[in-house]
Amino acid sequence: MTTRPDPFEHDDAAYVLGLLSDEEDAAFVAHLATCVECTERVRQLAGLPAAPAGLTERDLDEPVASPVPAPLLPGLLRRAAVAGRRRRWMVGALTGVAAAGLVALVLVVSPLTHAPHAGAEPVAMTAVTATPLTATATLQDVPWGTRIELNCRYTVSSSWSSDATYRLQAVDRNGVVHDLGTWTAHAGAEVTFTSGTDLPRADLAAVQITLPDGTPVLRLTS
């Protein structure tokens, strides 16, 4: 008895890159609800490790789409793609290894180069309590919602000399708080933290950095 091949086996990379047509995207999203293997591949592709140092967007044939942070994947699996935002996969059918390699190269361009994103400028966040942390936030509209990049510095002083954990949150227009991830700030070091939300930028009332107990320390109001 032979097993029929999965017709969606090689669509995971194209889905993460946003290169499926509207019909293909809707079909793949429906398939993910019933396929554990494809869902796991999408999760892995959405959080690939870095590519070789020195890679820039000039190494690619076309501008790349913004990466989808892994915490957003469950929400994206419940939504169909926005019409008109996607094009067909022009390279043809890829093997699983080749597809994974291509996605790895594409997704890490921004973290490696720290190139500015069109239409997005860093804005200094405002301290709402005494804190050794300073940060700028860059908010960028993307097809899946809003990409948020923080550039943070944790200042060493007599009052604050050890590492600290912080949390990024988005607050929507209804006052609902959305957790977007945590990171550890090391004394005297700079860190870039990238996350995002499926909320459009217009629906964001604020983004804020809090302590683990939820106490806000820095805020940017939209």
Which neighbouring-strand residues pair with 124? 136
| Rounded Cα gap, residues 95 and 174, in angstroms | 45
State which residues of the chain have pLDDT below 50. Answer: 1-2, 48-68, 70, 78-118
- Per DSSP, which regions of the chain are E strands? 123-124, 126-127, 133-142, 145-154, 164-172, 177-185, 190-197, 204-210, 216-221
Q: How far is CA 59 from CA 110, 151, 217, in A?
A: 13, 26, 40
> Do 109 and 149 reside in the same domain of the chain?
no
**Residues with Cβ < 8 Å from 171, sequence gap 6 or more?**
177, 178, 204, 205, 206, 207, 208
State how many domains the chain has. 2
Antiparallel, parallel or unpaired: β 123-124 and 133-142:
antiparallel
Is the residue at 162 inside a domain?
A: yes
Q: Does some domain include residue 3?
A: no
Query: Which pLDDT score is estimated for 160?
Result: 62
Same domain, 128 and 102: no
Q: Is residue 5 part of a domain?
A: no
In this predicted structure, what is the pLDDT of residue 113? 35
Together in a domain, 65 and 154? no
In this prediction, residue 151 carries a pLDDT of: 92
Residue 127 placed within a domain: yes
Does residue 21 sit in the same domain as residue 107? Answer: yes
Say whether both 139 and 213 belong to one domain: yes
Res 108: pLDDT: 36
Examine the domain organization and report whether 94 and 26 are in the same domain. Answer: yes
Verify that 108 and 188 share a domain, yes or no. no
* Any domain includes 4: no
Mean pLDDT, the chain, integer: 71
Residue 69 identity (one-letter amino acid): P
Q: Is 138 found in the same domain as 74?
A: no
Parent domain of 20? 12-113
DSSP 188: T
Q: Model pTM greater than 0.85? A: no
Q: Among 113, 146, 161, identify where a domain stops.
A: 113
Strand order across the 126-127 sheet:
126-127, 216-221, 204-210, 164-172, 177-185
| Together in a domain, 77 and 100 | yes
**Interatomic CA distance for residues 33 and 77, integer angstroms:** 8
Same domain, 217 and 159: yes
Give the per-residue pLDDT at 121. 87
CATH code: domain of residue 206: 2.60.40.10
In this structure, are residues 126 and 136 in contact, taking their beta carbons and an 8 Å threshold? no
Residues 68 and 24 in one domain: yes
Statement to judge: residues 152 and 79 lie in one domain? no
C-alpha 44/C-alpha 83 separation (Å) is 25
**In terms of Cα–Cα distance, which of 13, 145, 19, 141 is closest to 78?**
145
| Domain finish residue from 75, 94, 113 | 113
User: Which domain-ending residue is among 51, 82, 113?
Assistant: 113
209: nearest Cα among 173, 182, 176: 182
Helix axes 22-32, 36-45, angle to 10 degrees: 110
